[in-house]
Amino acid sequence: MDCGGVFVKYVLFIFNILFVICGILLITFGSIMVSTIKDFSGVGETFTANSVAIVILVLGCIVFLVAFMGCCGAIRENSCALTSYSVVMLVLLVSQLALIIYVWVDHVQIQHSLEKIVQTIWDQRKTDALLMDTLQRSFKCCGL
């Protein structure tokens, strides 16, 4: 393999190692969210924090597995693993573009949903101050 090929191989490996670490961090963050989600259990149906935590866990697992496949394919110079890695990366790129378009088109509804969640927590602050205190601590705002 020539010098350029070796360089690309190690750059791909290093970037995928960074993404493996990011995947592990996402898995850790999602696990922490799942374990502390009980703080917001009084909000009701409007708050889908449990779903968000599960999505973060799944995303972390996907990032970890794809990056690990990229690491193995790069170091072993396995064309099958690198082809699979490329296809998965293309699918992820298209999915991200679709998500960006969805958020851009539906941003008013998303903002309305978030406002509704905060309003629900605010309305319940007199009966359950823990919810608002937890929200304020989470976002490091409102004097806490």
Q: What is the pLDDT of residues 76-131, one digit of tens each?
A: 888 888 888 889 889 988 988 898 898 888 878 877 877 887 777 677 666 666 66
The secondary structure of 41-96 as a DSSP string is GGG-TT--HHHHHHHHHHHHHHHHHHHHHHHHHHHHT-HHHHHHHHHHHHHHHHHH
pLDDT of residue 17: 93
pLDDT of residue 130: 65
Q: Residue 35 corresponds to which amino acid?
A: S
Q: Are 69 and 88 in contact (CB under 8 A)?
A: yes
Q: Where are the domains of the chain?
A: 3-104
Q: Give the whole-angstrom CA distance, residue 143 versus residue 46.
A: 25
- pLDDT, tens digit, 9 for 90 and up, residues 10-58: 888 999 999 999 999 989 988 887 777 665 555 554 455 567 778 888 9
pLDDT of residue 49: 58
Q: Give the whole-angstrom CA distance, residue 39 versus residue 36.
A: 6
Helix axes 49-76, 79-105, angle to 10 degrees: 150
pLDDT of residue 46: 40
